[in-house]
Structure 1
Amino acid sequence: MWVTSSLTTVLKPAKVALGNFDGVHLGHQQVIREVLHDATSEADFLTSSSKAADQTSKAGRAYTTVVTFNPHPQEFFSGRKRLLLTPVREKVEYLKILGVEQVVLLPFDRELVSLTPQAFVETILVRHLEAKHVSVGENFRFGCNRSGSVVDLQELAAGYGISSSIVRLRRLEDDRISSSIIRHALELGNLAQANRLLGRPYRLIGTVVKGQQLGRQLGFPTANLKLPDDKFLPRWGVYSTWVELGDGEAMVPGVMNLGCRPTVAGDRPTVEVHLLDWQGDLYDRPLTLHLIGFLRPEHQFDSIATLKGQIQQDCQAAREQLARKPLLKSTASGEPPTVKRGE
């Protein structure tokens, strides 16, 4: 996969899926799938000219490309750090799994914000990407003051011979699939809803660092994870999780605690996981936690003995929950891929 933040190093011509894609959830995947195979049912589209895109791909090579924005537009406009469901490295991994050949991390800056819809199409899609097809969700807005609609995009693109697909917003049962709804579900500890809309378990990816070793003193050694600073964290509490160790090892069941550990006077939030039925040295190793279920919120216990008893109950509850929801290695990705980056 080619990953670049410079429009001077993109591979072109391109078939482009355009959007923020934070989470790469089931709705995002529908938008992206259109530039991968052009095989999505017409019922999923408000308007589509996929046949034209398919004919173009047969006539000449067009790279399947996701164009996303960095930083997130809300971070640019608010001036505050935006916590992400999928930080850039994690997002790139998911896109690679889907079959995307190129990711363009378009710098979201004042120059980009000032472009009119016409200038955006001319500069980004036509001049730099030589786009043959563009796919967006029906709520996509672009250009100065978000003045461009999907209808504008389709009409402007058509003027340059670029075909397009406007993908309907997806629903799953009674839930609309959106990053904001997934965030809200995670804030409530509603992993069932979040994972259903994502189409996979929510993940935390980090490196094991040395902690205070309090878990070891309690008889439940834990691995403390250092996560990306911009990773969105779910509700504080205890979770059942499948732990991916990498290096071809099988998934290991575990219990994760997220929070400040009030019973032992913790002074800052930590992410620590106790691996069930596994022992070994994990320091400096990357771990991927696939969160399966929310067991309980964080709680301050009146004694260490009471805390130990609760941890034993948590371990048993996690075993039972994970036994009902196995996670095969083949359904999960391993370490984030090594990618080339443009200058």
Structure 2
Amino acid sequence: MQITSSLDRILTPTAIALGNFDGIHRGHLETIEPVLKWDNKSTYKTVVTFDPHPQQYFTGQQRQLLTPHSERVIILEGLGIDQLILLPFDCELVKLSPEEFVDRILDRQIQAKFISVGADFRFGNQRAGTATDLVALAANLGIQTQIVPLAIDGDSRISSSRIRAALLAADLQLTRALLGRYYSIVGTVVNGQEIGRSIGFPTANLKYPPDKFLPRQGVYCVRVDTPTATQLPGVMNIGKRPTVDGVNTTVEVHLLDWDGNLYEQQLIVHLHHFLRSEQKFPDLAALTNQIQADCKAAKEFFQSQSI
């Protein structure tokens, strides 16, 4: 899949899904679906989003993302998207009027022939343009536009903020319902302190994107994809490891009944079930006993899922 933030390197013409797409949840998937179904084979199926996230630009604070760019690439490639355009969200883009944004960016540079947007999409200086305005402005340039209704789960709309709240509550059932898949953490295995190995439970210490949104700290039942195997059962700890006086938040995965070398390999960790909150134990012996209990509980959970 082509990935670019340079408007001079875009594959054109395009059929685009336009929005922030943090999480690529069920609502986002419904916005992307019309692009995948667009039947003009001469156009590149493209997702257009903004970098940095508009809220980060206006607040000046790092925004934690459900799907950092590296994770979006994995998901979008799996969907069959040809191209991801990361529009630089800067002072120049912010100053554009809705008319200028459609004419200069969408028509002349991206050469969009078809646009799909969510019903709540806003654009242009002061967010003056609505999805309905986009339809009219694009039509004047011969561009077809489809407005996708907001996706609903239960009594509320599906949104990235709702998913964040579910993750902080460790409500993985709701998270999965809103996303349409298990929440995942993608990272590269790096050297750690090897405390787990010293007590008989070797762990893969993950280096994940600094802007990745992490769920509630604690212990999770997970399934892990490695470069050579998929859906390996495991236990993951997210936290500061208070028993060994840890300071920084770490993400560590122990694969159940598995042995091998994972250093420098990329893992995709899918969160299935929350076991317990992180806690401090009086010594390593007590920690070891709890890890044994966690592994036993994880095996029982996965066995119950296979029945």
Instruction: Please indicate the TM-score interval, normalised by the length of the shorter structure.
Output: over 0.9
Alignment partner, residue 163 of structure 2: 182
- C-alpha separation between the residues in 2 aligned to 1:324 and 1:205? 26
Alignment partner, residue 35 of structure 2: 35
Q: Structure 1: which amino acid aligns with 2:236?
A: M
Specify which structure has the bigger relative contact order, considering alpha-carbon pairs within 8 angstroms and separated by 6 or more residues. Answer: 1
CA contact (8 A) 1:238 1:295 kept: yes
Instruction: Say yes or no: does 1:76 pair with 2:57.
Output: yes
Q: Deviations over 1:99-149 (max 9, x none)?
A: 111111110000000000000000111111221111100010000010101
Alignment partner, residue 263 of structure 2: 283
Instruction: Say yes or no: does 1:19 pair with 2:55.
Output: no
- C-alpha separation between the residues in 1 aligned to 2:296 and 2:126? 53
Alignment partner, residue 228 of structure 1: 209
Alignment partner, residue 7 of structure 2: 7
User: CA offset at residue 236 of structure 1?
Assistant: 0.5
Q: Deviations over 1:256-282 (max 9, x none)?
A: 001011112112211111110101122
**Superposed counterparts of 1:237-252, under 5 Å:** 237-247=218-228, 249-252=229-232
Q: Structure 2: which amino acid aligns with 1:7?
A: L
CA contact (8 A) 1:241 1:322 kept: no
- Alignment size in residue pairs: 306
Alignment partner, residue 235 of structure 2: 255
User: CA offset at residue 175 of structure 1?
Assistant: 4.4
Instruction: Say yes or no: does 1:319 pair with 2:299.
Output: yes
User: CA offset at residue 303 of structure 1?
Assistant: 3.4
Q: Structure 1: which amino acid aligns with 2:169?
A: L
The root-mean-square deviation of aligned C-alpha atoms, in Å, is: 1.4
* Length-normalised TM-score, structure 1: 0.86
SS at match of 2:67: coil
* Length-normalised TM-score, structure 2: 0.96
SS at match of 1:201: coil
Instruction: Say yes or no: does 1:218 pair with 2:194.
Output: no
CA contact (8 A) 1:118 1:156 kept: yes
User: CA offset at residue 221 of structure 1?
Assistant: 1.4
SS at match of 2:129: coil
Percent of paired sites with the same residue: 54
- C-alpha separation between the residues in 1 aligned to 2:18 and 2:304? 37
Q: Deviations over 1:202-258 (max 9, x none)?
A: 1111111111111122221111111111111111000000011212x2431100001
- C-alpha separation between the residues in 2 aligned to 1:304 and 1:97? 42
- C-alpha separation between the residues in 2 aligned to 1:155 and 1:245? 47
CA contact (8 A) 1:242 1:322 kept: no
- C-alpha separation between the residues in 2 aligned to 1:11 and 1:267? 45
Alignment partner, residue 119 of structure 1: 100
168-177 vs 124-133, greater mean Cα deviation = 168-177
- C-alpha separation between the residues in 2 aligned to 1:35 and 1:250? 29
User: CA offset at residue 66 of structure 1?
Assistant: 0.8
Alignment partner, residue 266 of structure 1: 246
Alignment partner, residue 141 of structure 1: 122
